Every structure is written in C-alpha cells, then in structure tokens.
Amino acid sequence: MSTATAQFPLRDLNLKQHPLHPMSTPRSFLNHKLSAIAAAAICAVFSAGALTAGGAPDFARQAALDAARDEVVVAYDGILPNRHVGDVVTRVMPDGRLAIWFATGGDKEPDPNNFMAVIYSEDEGKTWSPMQMLDANIKRAGINIGQLPTEAIVSGQKIMLFFSTHAGHLRNSWRSWVATSDNNGKTWNTPELLPGRLGAATFVRSHIWTQSGNLVVPYQHYLGNLNDHNSEVVRRNNKAGNETTPYPTPVINSRNGVLISTDGGRTFTEHGDIKLPIPDDTYLWAENTIAELEKDHLVMLIRPERTRGKATFLYRADSFDGGKTWPALAEKTDIPNPSSKTILLRVNDWTTALLHNPNPYSRWPLSLWISFDGMKTWPYQRVVIADSVDGPGRNVHYPEGYVTPDLQWINFTFDDNRHQAVYVRAKLPPIPGKPVSGKNPENPWLKKPPPKKKPAAK
C-alpha cells in the first residue's frame, strides 16, 4: 500500500433544508463558500505554514503537514486457510488495550468457513497479537456456520458485540445477534437476536453517543422475502445495469434506521424506515453511518447502489430530534462513492470527519475529508491510503474507527483488498473549538450513574 497527499476537487453539498426541521426555511448551499467566521476560527489554530500570504487557511499545505505524521501498521495479514479479512471494527477495550474484531476464514464472504476473530495491541497499535478465534456462544454449525462481527460498543466495563450468522450464504438463514462481555471479551453471555424484524437480514453499524447522553446505533435491514426470490429478480437487475448476484437473494428492498438506548445500552427502541430512491429489487448493501452535527441533529449517509460505468454518490437523511424520526426517503448528495462503506465521525461542534473512497467508480484511494461548518463544505481533503498492497486500482476500503479524546488523531482500521487488516493513526488538522469533554467521549453515560431500580411493590 502507499500513502499520498493528493487533493480531490472541493465538492460542496447541495443540501435542501429538511421539512422536519423546526426552523425550516428554503435555502440552498450550492456553491456555498466557507463562512468568514469559520475561516477566521480555522486561521486561529492552523500552523503558520498552513496559511496563505493573505492569512487565509491553506488546506492543501495543512493536509501535507498532517499526512507526514500518519502511522500505518499491517495488523493482520491473511493467508490460507484464513486469508479473508472483512468487517473490521476497532475499539479501546475496558482494560485499555486496542482491539480489532473482524471476519476471516476462507478467502471470501459469505462462505461456510467464515468465523469471527480478534487481535489486540498493548502499545497503541504499534504491534498486534496473533489472531484468536472469537467464541460468542453460538456453535458454528448448520445455519450458524458462517459468522461475522459488524459492531462493538464499549460501555464502562461492558462490551456489546453485534454480529450476524449464516449458513455459508445469505439466501434464507441470515440472522443478527448481540452478545455482551463483562471481562474484556474473555467470555460472552448467551447471545440474543436483535428485536423484532431486525433479528433477520440486518447489519448493525458504527454507533454514536449523542450530546443528550443517548446511545444511537444505525442499522441496514432488508424487507426482501427470504423464501420467495427467483431468477426473475436477477434478470431485472441485469437489465437495469445494477450489480447482480448469481443466486436468489434477500439483499433487496433495503431499509435504514437506528436503534436508540436511553439507559446506556440496556434496552433499545427501533426508529426510522428510510428507503432509497431506487427500484425495490435493486441488489444493494445499504451500509449507513451517522454523526451528530449539533444537539439532536443527526445526519445519516448511506452507501449507493452499484451501476456499471456510472458515477454513484452517497445518499443522506437527517433527523432533528435525536434520531427518533427520519424522512421516508433519503436524498442523493454530491459526495462521490463507488458503492462502498464510509464512516462519519463527529470531532466537535460542527466539525465532522468523513473516511471514504471519493472515487465514484472504484474503491481507491481511501481519503479523509473534514467539514468545519456542519457538512456544508469539505475544504480539507487528503488521501490517506493511495493504493493497495496488491497494486494500483485494488480495494482499500471499509474504514472503521474513532476520534481520540484530544482531537489529534483518527484511529481506524480498513481492509486492504480483503486479505489485510491495516491499522492507521491519521493526523487531524488543528480543530477550532473545545475538545470533547469527559473521560470517554464515546460514552457520556459513564458520567451518569445508572438509573436506580424502583423498589418492588409489596
């Protein structure tokens, strides 16, 4: 793999004010410029070498300074029989170690050989332990033989692991679970299916803790009939030019939403039923990511469908009540994306980072974009990983990680062409505003005592 500091052309979002916003007024951000107030705040913290002669922020110079400080480590290099690497999740454990959970086994997914694995680092990601198979208390056999993690949440001394099981394919046996551990992942309790419809055909994605103290977890779900798909679906997808699958599949008719917990992850409620403006029978991995811009204003970005030879762009939906209500239909943005997973990360008030593939045709390079004005503009854009270890044009994708409490780094892992888990410390530019408060910015629940149990009625 190689790194680079090349810049992509600045793309401003053409946003429409959401009709659910209490202060809704018609406005457009097409050709929107970074405001003078935001520019002044950035100039106050940027390095002297990252300012123009006129004193304006020079984002290209700052990006070059930051790129020189990036750290990149191959955490796991897959070889047969466990060559495959997918669905990497990076978190700080309760005991302070770093952990990367991922799917491996075989050389592709879905596959009967897929199993969950974990590796650890005790030196902030410089070196990593050998891979260990993760036993989440579901025997790998029958319809549960294939297993993969999709999200991990650390809350105090508890870890919540969201994962899916399948029979080596995703035709009619795909189920979704959550397990918890109170001893740093040494053992796990008996997993529970996700509530209601989410117990099947669902992937859970990267969580956030909101400024209100709630835990919000996005999901992608499919309404596709698990037992009644036939070749006609595949033929229609072929005719439309969308990505196809060689077998009948439930991965159509996608819906996106969130799970919300107001008690630190003890209980969850489901919210949202967001559809993309595409035909229901489109084969689509509608992976989503969320961030909070201001208190209770959540933004969700959703991976687009893949079309042959056509540029594709992320979709967007907004919630203005902390994730309780969402629009029925997402809208297309002008953020390019080759139908690949992205991750939004809130840095502080109105500063948002986006790790993604900005090439609308292929999953390279892997870039970091930053908005200082609530995702109206993305003036800071740099390439973090330019090419795969397997050469130019191969996949460097599926980033997943977190912002460090001091706002200096984004620590994340991506998979390099489905056979390496690569850990990256990407240097953030100086960020105007205050750092996130609290010992653990991912978990403001730690600052509150758990709710007192009501005494039993006599």
CB 353 within 8 A of CB 370: yes
The model's pLDDT over 350-371, given as tens digits with 9 standing for 90+, comes to 899 999 999 999 999 999 999 9
Helix (H, G, I), strand (E, B), or coil: what is residue 195? coil
Q: What is the pLDDT of residues 380-427, one digit of tens each?
A: 999 999 999 999 999 999 999 999 999 999 999 999 999 999 999 999
Within its chain, how far is the Cα of 114 from the centroid?
A: 21
- What integer best gives the mean pLDDT of the chain? 85
CATH number of 36-447: 2.120.10.10
**How confident is the model at residue 136, as a pLDDT?**
94
pLDDT at 281: 82
Tell me the average pLDDT across 171-176. 86
What are 214-223's pLDDT values in tens digits?
999 999 999 8
Which residues contact residue 144 at a Cβ distance below 8 angstroms, ignoring those fewer than 6 apart? 138, 165, 166, 167, 175
Query: pLDDT (tens digit, 9 = 90+) per residue, 195-206?
Result: 999 999 999 999
For residue 425, the cross-strand partners are 71, 411
Contact 115, 140 (CB under 8 A): yes
**238 compared with 256, residue with greater pLDDT:** 256
Q: Which residues face 366 on adjacent strands?
A: 385
Token pair of 171, please? 């035709």
Specify whether the backbone of 423 is left (phi greater than 0), alpha (psi in -120 to 50) or beta.
beta
Domain coordinates of the chain in residue numbers?
36-447
Per-residue confidence (pLDDT) for residue 5, from 0 to 100: 37
Query: Please, which residues have CB within 8 angstroms of residue 266's CB and are 6 or more apart in sequence?
Result: none
Using 50, 70 and 90 to split pLDDT, how confident is the model at 88?
very high
DSSP string for 233-288:
HHHHHHHHTB---SS--S--SEEEEEEEESSTTS--EEEEEEB-SS-TT------E
pLDDT at position 287 over 80: yes
